[in-house]
Amino acid sequence: MARFSTRSNHYDGCRYLVGLIALRTKEHFFAIYTLCVGYIIYLVIYEWDALTGGVRGLIGIEGFAPIGMLTFNSSTSSYYLVLVFLVLTVVCMKFLTESIVGRTYVAIRNSEELAQTIGINTMKQKLISFVLSTFLAGLAGALYASFTRFIGPDISYTMMMFDMLTFALVGGLGTLFGPVVGTLLIVILTQSLQFMEDYRMLIFGPLLVMIVIFYPRGLVGGYLVWKAKRAYKKQQHEFEDKGSTYEGGD
């Protein structure tokens, strides 16, 4: 247990160091930096054969440990365990976004300069959010490795990052359920087009471009915008009806 704690502290230190440097960059420089760090990690995993298995990867990873009387020997039980982690993560993020901390993050996202003027330590808060996001990514990786019992260097390749970004863009950046909806939609769509082999991208590519063009905020983001506009129009109609009622009474 102490060994695990020491290793976890080392990982937290690495996340902190990477985030400390990354958050001093902005916009496309931030994207370039994180992309380079991800590629360096891929090269380390690919070349460090003694630790990561290199090209072969790590085979025979232990599955999920039993929790009391609950065992996770089958793929179905492991699936439901991962699903529980997903639901718990979404619930925790829901509480976080509605808390003062979440509102602080929203203020920084909308205008970092304005957030600084009202006394928010933007660097500290961005660093905390960066470490939290990498912790969730590490948790997802641990669950994936325990579920598949194998992990190779391809899991850290840059294409994986682009896939995750695509899920978020399609579902909706800055939304709670956007990444979940985007992931389900793209995975179901790509699996449904498997019979077309290499030609499936001829359909998937234009569909993805159309979603990005017509729903720049993503599917969930577009729905929230439509819902807000509908509520605004409804309030306007109610206000106009009340105004006409008062005029008729006069």
More confident residue, 247 or 219: 219
Is the pLDDT score of 116 beyond 80?
Answer: yes
Q: Which pLDDT score, from 0 to 100, does residue 22 have? A: 65
Average pLDDT, the chain: 78
- The residue ranges of every structural domain in the chain are 157-250
**Digit-coded pLDDT (tens) for 31-73:** 677 777 777 777 877 777 777 777 777 777 787 888 877 788 8
Is the pLDDT score of 243 beyond 70?
Answer: no
Question: Alpha-carbon torsion 169, 154, 135, 150, what sign?
Answer: positive
Q: Which residues contact 52 (CB under 8 A, 6 or more apart)?
A: 44, 45, 46, 58, 153
**Digit-coded pLDDT (tens) for 117-158:** 888 888 888 888 888 888 888 888 888 888 888 887 777 777
The DSSP H or E segment spanning 129 is helix 122-148
Is the pLDDT score of 247 beyond 60?
Answer: no
**Token code pair at residue 142:** 């641990």
- pLDDT grade for 88, boundaries at 50, 70 and 90: very high
Name the percent of the chain lying above pLDDT 70. 82
Q: What mean pLDDT comes out for the span 236-249?
A: 64
Q: Which pLDDT score, from 0 to 100, does residue 87 have? A: 92
- 21: how many CB neighbours lie within 10 A of its CB? 10
Among 16-25, 103-112, 187-196, the least confident range: 16-25
Q: What mean pLDDT comes out for the span 92-121?
A: 86
- pLDDT grade for 2, boundaries at 50, 70 and 90: very low
Q: Can you give the C-alpha Rg of the chain in angstroms?
A: 23
**Digit-coded pLDDT (tens) for 182-229:** 888 888 888 887 777 667 677 777 877 888 788 888 888 888 888 888
**Digit-coded pLDDT (tens) for 165-195:** 888 888 888 888 888 888 888 888 888 877 7
Question: Alpha-carbon torsion 141, 209, 25, 158, what sign?
Answer: positive
Name the percent of the chain lying above pLDDT 90. 4
Query: Distance between CA 250 and CA 244 in Å, rounded?
Result: 10
